[in-house]
Amino acid sequence: MVGSAVWRILVAKGYSNLIGKTSKELDLTKQQAVLDFYNKEQPEVVIDAAAKVGGILANKDFPYPFLMENMQIQNNLIDGAHKAGIEKFIFLGSSCIYPKFAPQPLKEEYLLTDSLEPTNEWYAIAKITGVKACQAIRKQYNKEYVSLMPTNLYGSFDNFDLQSSHVLPAMLRKFHEAKINNHADVTLWGSGTPMREFLFVDDMAEAVVYALENNLPEYLYNIGTGKDITIKELAETIKKITGHQGNILWDASKPDGTPRKLMDVSKMKELGWQYTTELEEGIEQTYAWFLENIDGIKEVKLG
């Protein structure tokens, strides 16, 4: 989702000398394969949008691959780029790197000040090591390696698999399928009270291009809207957009996750970047993409 959005924005802005590989074309968990790729292509800049991602259930059921595969991917890319003499590297992470009960909104300096959210600590620890690797290269070798931490992303090419997806695409699919099933009731996890921030992936891509075209003075930046809503409000919004008319049932026996994750995005805003797509507009665009691609989406299963 993120890689394709960045690619679209780069093409739209006139960039043409682009190199991209799918996971089938280049296995980023293989160190030698990544080194061979760098030696052959010799890129000037690397944008690392690759990761093994998923929601609460996927993180709970597959802790080891969420830790190990993400560390392998980013370590091979970061270390390989450094060894290949690449001066600029943009590392994309996640807001889950911050402590579970950190003060709100989340500031960059809260990193490593307390314990993580247990439901996604494996992914978070991997991403923290990536942030620190880029910071270390920046500190020791004065290279422009910067980390961008987006809030919850959604948009075209999202993962809509109900077993492994994040909350927004999972809800969107659930409400759509309930609508076509005679507006059946929709059961959602938790209490609906946690608050979450969501960023349209095309806005995230614009932030990446901003980082590409400018010299950012610090090693870590939050990327988000600076606004959040409750999961219950999100459900009502998606219900309205999809046209579902049934009931929403909340299963309080399931975990809520972190109570709140609002990003402080003032550092990027001061530099000159901020989001442009409001949540309802972004969900409408995402639902339109979902409907256009629904046949392919149904075939996607958790690996």
Check residue 301 and give its pLDDT.
Answer: 43
Check residue 59 and give its pLDDT.
Answer: 80
Q: Does some domain include residue 159?
A: yes
Q: Does some domain include residue 303?
A: no
Q: Does some domain include residue 302?
A: no
Q: How far apart are CA 63 and CA 58, in angstroms?
A: 8
In tens digits, what is the pLDDT along the chain, a chain of 303 residues?
999 999 999 999 999 999 999 889 999 999 999 999 999 999 999 999 998 877 777 788 889 999 999 999 999 999 999 999 999 999 999 998 999 889 999 999 999 999 998 888 999 999 999 999 999 999 999 999 999 999 999 999 998 988 777 889 999 999 999 999 999 999 998 999 999 999 999 999 999 999 999 999 999 999 999 999 999 999 999 999 999 999 999 999 998 877 888 999 999 999 999 999 999 999 999 999 999 998 877 544 433
Check residue 298 and give its pLDDT.
Answer: 57
Residues pairing with 199 in the sheet: 153
Annotated binding site: 92-95, 127, 150-153, 166, 174, 189, 196, 256
Q: Does some domain include residue 117?
A: yes
Q: Does some domain include residue 226?
A: yes
Q: How far apart are CA 231 and CA 236, in angstroms?
A: 9
245 Cβ neighbours under 8 A, 6+ residues apart? 179, 183
Q: Does some domain include residue 241?
A: yes
CB 73 within 8 A of CB 33: no
* Cβ-count burial 156-168 (b if 16+ within 10 Å, e if not): bbbbbbbebbbbb
123 is catalytic: yes
Residue 118 is part of a domain; what is its CATH number?
3.40.50.720
How many structural domains are present in the chain? 1
Catalytic residue selected from 38, 98, 123, 287: 123
Q: Does some domain include residue 169?
A: yes
Distance of CA 63 to the CA centre of its chain: 18
Check residue 260 and give its pLDDT.
Answer: 84
Check residue 302 and give its pLDDT.
Answer: 35
Check residue 256 and give its pLDDT.
Answer: 84
Q: Does some domain include residue 203?
A: yes
Residue closest to 185 by CA, chosen among 231, 248, 250, 273: 248
Q: Which residue range forms the structural domain that includes residue 139?
A: 2-297
